[in-house]
C-alpha cells in the first residue's frame, strides 16, 4: 500500500538520508584521521617549517614529537565537521535531485547529480570550514613542538573549543572562516565530481551485468557496490582537485604572518615557487585518505539504507508502505 501522503514519504526519506549521511561521515573521518594529519602536515610544511619532508619522514617526526596521539590531533573538530557535511551532502542530494527533475525534466542525470552534490556540500561548508580550520591548526602542532611553532601559529591549542576561542580572539569570525572560498572552490567540484563518477560507475557496472550476465540472477549487494565504487569515485575526484586542496590548506594554516592574500595570490606564488609539483603536493596521502574514506562512507550509507529503510518503511516499523521508485538511483546512492 502507498502512504496517503507522498509528501510525507519523501520528507521521511530525506530525513533518513540526513541521519545516515551524518553517521557515515563521522565514521569515515574517525577511521582515517591519521592519514589526513599526514596530508595536512605535508601540504603546510613549506610555510610552517620551511622544509620539504617525505611522507615517511613526517611519520617519524610526528611519532617522535607526540607519539600515537599526534596522528589524532584535531579529530574532534574533524568528526564534527564530517557530521555536518555528511548529513547535508546525502540529505540535500535527495531533495535537490527531485527538485531539479521537476523544474527541468530534460536535464541529464549526470548534471543533476553534479549540481545536487555541489549544493549539498556548499551548505555543509558553513559548519565544516570553521571545524576544518581548527582541525588543521591542531594537526600541525605537537606536544613537544610548542616552542617551535614559529610566527605562523598563535600558540599551542589544547583542545577544540580553546582553539576556536583563540582564533576568534586573534582574527575574529574571519579567522574561523579562513579559506572559505578556497574550500568551496575545492569541495564543490569534488562533491559534484564524486557523485557524478559514482553514478557513472554504477551505470557502467549495471550495463556490464546486463551484457555479460544477461541470463543470470547475479547481483552485487549495494553495500559492496558502495565500498568499491565509492572508493574509486572518491580517489579519482581527490586527485583531480588536489591543487585546490593545497591552496586551501596554505590559506588556512597561515597565522600572523600573512604570506598569501587570497586564492589567486596563493595559486600564483605556489606555481612560481614550487611549480606543478607544489600544486600536487600531498596528492598521494590525499588519495590514500579519500579512497577508503569515500569507500567507507558510501558503504556505510548503503548498509544503513538496506538495514533500516525497509524496516522503517514497513507497516511493522510504524510507517505504512512508503513506495520507493526502483528506477531511481538517488533512492540508492548519493
**Residues with Cβ < 8 Å from 83, sequence gap 6 or more?**
22, 25, 26
Question: How many residues does the structure list for the chain?
Answer: 334
Q: CA-based diameter of the chain, in Å?
A: 68
0.75 surpassed by pTM: no
At 212 the pLDDT is: 79
CB 74 within 8 A of CB 37: yes
- In degrees and rounded to multiples of 5, residue 106 shows phi and psi of -85, -5
At 311 the pLDDT is: 62
**Residues with Cβ < 8 Å from 152, sequence gap 6 or more?**
47, 48, 253, 254, 255, 256, 257
CB 256 within 8 A of CB 175: no
Query: Cβ of 55: how many Cβ atoms within 10 Å?
Result: 16
CB 334 within 8 A of CB 17: yes
Helices (H) and strands (E) in the chain, counts: 13, 0
At 282 the pLDDT is: 82
Q: Profile the chain (334 residues) by mean pLDDT over runs of 10 residues.
A: 55 81 87 87 73 83 87 92 87 82 83 85 89 89 51 65 89 87 85 89 86 74 90 95 88 72 87 90 85 89 79 48 36 34
At 257 the pLDDT is: 67
The SS3 of residue 53 is coil
Q: Which of 14, 159, 160, 21 is nearest to 82 (CA)?
A: 21
Within 177-241, residue ranges assigned H as helices are 180-212, 222-240
CB 52 within 8 A of CB 264: no
At 53 the pLDDT is: 79
What domains lie within the chain, and their CATH numbers?
A: 6-317 (1.50.40.10)
Amino acid at each position: 500500500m502507498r502512504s496517503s501522503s507522498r509528501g510525507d514519504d519523501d520528507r521521511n526519506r530525506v530525513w533518513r538520508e540526513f541521519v545516515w549521511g551524518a553517521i557515515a561521515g563521522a565514521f569515515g573521518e574517525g577511521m582515517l584521521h591519521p592519514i589526513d594529519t599526514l596530508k595536512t602536515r605535508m601540504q603546510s610544511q613549506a610555510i610552517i617549517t620551511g622544509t620539504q619532508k617525505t611522507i615517511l619522514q613526517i611519520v617519524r617526526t610526528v611519532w617522535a614529537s607526540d607519539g600515537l596521539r599526534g596522528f589524532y590531533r584535531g579529530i574532534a573538530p574533524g568528526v564534527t565537521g564530517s557530521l555536518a557535511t555528511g548529513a547535508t551532502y546525502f540529505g540535500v542530494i535527495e531533495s535537490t535531485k527531485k527538485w531539479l527533475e521537476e523544474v527541468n525534466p530534460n536535464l541529464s542525470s549526470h548534471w543533476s547529480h553534479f549540481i545536487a552534490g555541489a549544493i549539498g556540500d556548499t551548505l555543509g561548508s558553513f559548519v565544516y570550514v570553521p571545524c576544518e580550520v581548527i582541525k588543521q591548526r591542531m594537526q600541525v602542532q605537537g606536544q613537544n613542538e610548542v616552542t617551535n611553532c614559529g610566527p605562523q601559529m598563535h600558540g599551542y591549542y589544547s583542545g577544540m573549543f580553546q582553539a576556536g576561542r583563540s582564533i576568534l580572539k586573534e582574527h575574529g569570525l574571519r579567522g574561523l572562516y579562513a579559506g572559505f572560498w578556497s574550500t568551496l572552490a575545492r569541495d564543490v567540484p569534488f562533491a559534484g565530481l564524486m557523485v557524478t563518477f559514482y553514478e557513472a560507475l554504477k551505470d557502467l557496472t549495471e550495463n556490464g551485468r546486463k551484457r555479460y550476465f544477461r541470463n543470470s540472477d547475479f547481483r552485487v549487494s549495494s553495500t559492496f557496490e558502495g565500498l568499491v565504487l565509492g572508493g574509486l569515485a572518491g580517489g579519482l575526484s581527490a586527485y583531480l582537485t588536489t591543487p585546490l586542496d593545497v591552496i586551501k590548506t596554505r590559506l588556512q594554516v597561515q597565522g600572523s604572518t600573512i604570506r598569501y592574500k587570497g586564492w589567486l595570490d596563493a595559486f600564483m606564488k605556489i606555481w612560481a615557487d614550487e611549480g606543478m609539483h607544489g600544486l600536487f603536493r600531498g596528492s598521494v596521502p590525499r588519495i590514500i585518505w579519500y579512497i577508503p574514506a569515500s569507500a567507507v562512507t558510501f558503504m556505510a550509507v548503503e548498509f544503513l539504507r538496506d538495514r533500516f529503510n525497509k524496516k522503517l518503511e514497513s507497516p511493522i516499523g510504524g510507517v505504512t508502505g512508503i513506495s520507493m521508485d526502483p528506477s531511481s538511483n538517488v533512492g540508492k546512492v548519493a
